[in-house]
């Protein structure tokens, strides 16, 4: 299972999602261009020392990312989208799914929507546009891991679990 970030705008969100991937042993993809200099201090601060422990790949653009996936078994690309109809909790995940998060400012462009395999939404109260991308990624990844029995059982090694 992988978490993929499409042209992220905010370094702090990327750092948070890299930390998520490190803590759960997930791979992370960053599809450029980013809206910040990748080595920015905010990325390091929010990712803390976890950024060094995550297996991540930077891709120059969407096409390079798709080529990378094709060379690695062509897993399903599942887009998180506020425009989707299938709720997160009703979607059936597979162990090798790629969960794609859109840009904080604009989501995913139509050409990307046209190329993904599935689109899912996190149901919310009416009148709200979206969740923070890192919060949405956390919810989606945990649900996908729960469904596919990929939640690590590290509780005996975990001092607090939350910081």
Q: What is the CA radius of gyration of the chain?
A: 15
Q: Give residue-wise pLDDT tens across range 32-76.
A: 999 988 775 666 666 567 777 899 999 999 999 999 999 999 999
Q: Is the pLDDT of residue 102 over 90?
A: yes
Phi, psi of 9 (to 5 degrees): -95, -30
- Residue 122 confidence (pLDDT): 97
CATH superfamily of 2-151: SPOUT methyltransferase, trefoil knot domain (3.40.1280.10)
List, for residues 13-44, the tens digit of each pLDDT value: 998 999 999 999 999 999 999 998 877 566 66
Tell me the binding residues for S-adenosyl-L-methionine: 80, 102, 122, 130
Q: Which amino acids are annotated as binding site, given as ranges?
A: 80, 102, 122, 130
Q: What's the pTM value of the predicted model, to 2 decimals?
A: 0.90
Res 49: pLDDT: 73
In this structure, the number of other CB atoms found within 10 A of the CB of residue 100 comes to 28
């Amino acid at each position: 299972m992988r978490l993929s970030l499409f042209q992220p705008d905010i370094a702090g969100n990327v750092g948070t999602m890299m930390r998520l991937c490190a803590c759960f042993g997930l791979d992370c993809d960053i599809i450029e261009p980013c809206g910040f200099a990748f080595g920015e201090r905010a990325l390091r601060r929010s990712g803390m020392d976890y950024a060094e422990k995550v297996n991540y790949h930077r891709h120059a653009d969407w096409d390079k990312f798709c080529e990378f996936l094709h060379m690695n078994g062509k897993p399903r690309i599942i887009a998180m989208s506020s425009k989707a109809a299938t709720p997160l909790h009703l979607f059936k995940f597979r162990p090798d799914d790629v969960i794609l998060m859109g840009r904080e400012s604009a989501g995913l462009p139509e050409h990307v929507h046209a190329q993904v395999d599935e689109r899912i939404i996190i149901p919310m109260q009416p009148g709200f546009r979206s969740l923070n991308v890192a919060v949405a990624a956390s919810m989606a990844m945990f649900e996908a891991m729960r469904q596919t029995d990929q939640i690590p059982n590290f509780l005996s090694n975990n001092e607090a679990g939350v910081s």
